[in-house]
Structures are given as structure tokens and as C-alpha cells.
Amino acid sequence: MNNDEGTVHRPVLLKEVLSLLELNPGMVVVDATVGAGGHAAAILERICPGGFLLGIDRDPQAAELAERALLRAGYTRGRHFDIEVRRFSQVDEALAPRRISGADRLLADLGVCSMHFDWPERGFSLKREGPLDMRLDSTDASAPTAADIVNSASEEELTRIFRQYGEERWAPRIARAIVEHRTRDPITTTTQLREIVAQAIPRRHWPPTCDPATRVFQALRIAVNSELEELDALLAKLPKFIKPRGRAAVISFHSLEDRRVKETFRELARKCTCPADWPMCRCGGEAKWRIVTKKPVVADETEIRDNPRSRSAKLRVIERLK
């Protein structure tokens, strides 16, 4: 594998994240999707001295790159930071052995890193041929690959995956084309799948700004890695480990993610916890959380020009009150 550390991986919405997290020396911060360490390095600059960052990533290769980046920046593992290879839904389990009561700040930059698309052997790239894998942890032999799903799922199940996770209008037609093709030859590479999908969608209906197979690749990646279930689990655990006056920031890249974040934050920030069918409030409840970003924060034109991945990024931040 060519893990080219010379490749520039730009953290998305960096200045906005740093501003809205309101970081101070001595804080405990969890970077739940540490990736190549871009956000983490900038966060450490602001919480040191005395601060500690716990980086989590499901991908062992990404975790290794993040550790190297933070060491090169002059930080010491164990003193200033630590990196764990695990799912971000297990944040509380990562904190517990360290006798850390909770986090002052949390950042979750969802989806996949740009570097995953730079590694064709991981199977995420639409432009470069590779095995149809898409596992964020490619060492997990028990996890199904995208090829497993494409070659074994029923036409109805493929349709559901493409429609539910990719919001693909041509889902039934694409699923039918995949099933017809695999009766002759198994689908094993990214370029094979990309061509099948492109041919299944009428040419006049190809999206003008992205590859016609983009939504199908997104849907398979989400299905392979149970990404939405992982996000739901993380959001449900926020009250367990975010300290009072602590903040959580989530960057999403498509509506399925952003909708979950928006609805969870709105529910957390509710004052009244009485059943919706009660005619008046009887709980006398006070809000325990405050939504910091009334609308999602998006990248400006300069960042979009320099880093096209940021075009679809949406940042939402919530704060736990006393």
C-alpha cells in the first residue's frame, strides 16, 4: 500500500471547528474520527499545555498516519495524546480505562477521509481500479465487503440499499443490472461496478457535477460499515460522556447524516420532556443542552475552491449546560 505521507489531506472546516469548540489549555478532547490527524494537531495547539486528546479511528492505517503526524508535530503519545483503533460508537469504552470522567469537547468528522480515495486498493475510488472492498477496517475478516453484498444480496435488498442509503432514484434498474451481470461473471472491482451502474442509468439523467455511480458507491460504503447505526449510537451516548459546559461538533457530508444530527441535537435541547399529547407542561423542565449553531455551518468559496470535498460539509455544534 502506498501511504504517501506527502499527500496533502486538508481538514474540512478547520477554522470554524476551532472557533466553535472554544478550546482552552487543559481540556480533554475526543477526536472521534482522527483520520490523518489534521484537526487533531490544530486542537492540540490550543489545549496544550495540560490538555489531552484521545483520537479514535476505525481504520488502523489512518490511526497510524495520525500518530505519525502528531509525533512529528512534537507531541508525546501518552502525555499529550493517545490513538485507539475502534468504532466511534465506543467512545465511552475508550475513555473508561483511562479514568477520564468525561470529555470537554468532541469532534466527529463523518464519512471517509480523502486519503481513502487515494488508495485504490481500499475500494472507495470511482476513478481508480481496485478490489470492491470499502471496509473502513480492512483487517476485519468477519465484516462483509462491498463485493460480498453486490454478489450475494437479492435484487430487492440491493434496491433497498441504493434507495435508502444513496437516495438513488434509479435503484431498481441498477439492482436489476447488477443481478443480471453477476449471473455471467462476479463483480469484483470498482471499475466493473462503476460501468454497470453508469450503463443502467439513462445517459441524459447522469448528474452534471458528479459520477453517475457516486450514490451507489456511497450506499454500499454506508451498508458495509453500518455508518448510520454507528452515528446513531454515538449521538445517543453524548449525555454519558460530555461534561457540563462541554461541546460536541459533528461534520456531516450528506442529508442522511445531517438529518440525524439535527434531530438529535433538537431533542437534546428540548426544555419540556412531557409526552407530546399532554395539553400543558407539567415537568417544569429546564433545557440541559443548547444548540450553538442554529443553522449548519458550511464552507466558504475559498475553502471549496481549495478543497472540493468541503462543498457538501455541514457542521453542527451543541453545548451541554450546567
Whether 263 and 207 share a structural domain: no
Whether 221 and 133 share a structural domain: yes
Q: pLDDT tens digit string along 45-72?
A: 999 999 999 999 999 999 999 999 999 9
Q: Does residue 246 carry a pLDDT above 80?
A: yes
C-alpha cell read off for 117: 480515495
What's phi and psi for 320, nearest 5 deg?
Answer: -85, 130
Q: Identify whether 94 is part of a domain.
A: yes
Of 184, 208, 225, which closes a domain? 225
Q: Are 34 and 108 in contact (CB under 8 A)?
A: no
Matching residue, cell 503526524: 69
Burial of 5 (0-12, 13-18, 19+ CB in 10 A): exposed
Q: Identify whether 190 is part of a domain.
A: yes
Of 203, 225, 247, which closes a domain? 225
Whether 135 and 196 share a structural domain: yes
CA atoms of 131 and 58, how far apart (whole Å)? 20
Of 208, 225, 242, which closes a domain? 225
Whether 85 and 146 share a structural domain: no
CA atoms of 284 and 296, how far apart (whole Å)? 30
Whether 239 and 218 share a structural domain: no
Q: pLDDT tens digit string along 4-37?
A: 444 456 899 999 999 999 999 999 999 999 998 9
Express as a percent the part of the chain with pLDDT over 90.
78
Q: How many domains does the chain have?
A: 2
The residue among 54, 33, 63 whose CA lies nearest residue 241 is 54
Q: pLDDT tens digit string along 206-228?
A: 988 889 999 999 999 999 999 99
CA atoms of 293 and 218, how far apart (whole Å)? 27
Confidence of residue 122 (pLDDT cuts 50, 70, 90): confident
CA atoms of 115 and 119, how far apart (whole Å)? 7
Which range marks the domain in which residue 269 is found? 14-109+227-320
Whether 253 and 105 share a structural domain: yes
Q: Identify whether 2 is part of a domain.
A: no
Whether 88 and 232 share a structural domain: yes
Q: Identify whether 8 is part of a domain.
A: no
The predicted structure's pLDDT at residue 4: 44
Domain harbouring 34, CATH code:
3.40.50.150
Whether 221 and 234 share a structural domain: no
Whether 22 and 79 share a structural domain: yes
* 72-82 average pLDDT score: 96
Domain harbouring 145, CATH code:
1.10.150.170
Q: Identity (one letter) of the amino acid at 322?
A: K
The predicted structure's pLDDT at residue 3: 45
Q: Which comes out higher in pLDDT, residue 116 or 93?
A: 93
Q: Are 181 and 187 in contact (CB under 8 A)?
A: yes
Q: Which comes out higher in pLDDT, residue 196 or 279?
A: 196
Q: Identify whether 5 is part of a domain.
A: no
Q: Identify whether 38 is part of a domain.
A: yes
Confidence of residue 114 (pLDDT cuts 50, 70, 90): low
Q: Identify whether 123 is part of a domain.
A: no
Taking each helix axis as running N to C, give the angle between helix 190-200 and helix 214-225, from 0 to 180 degrees, rounded to the nearest 10: 130
SS3 assignment, position 104:
strand
SS3 assignment, position 265:
helix
Q: Identify whether 219 is part of a domain.
A: yes
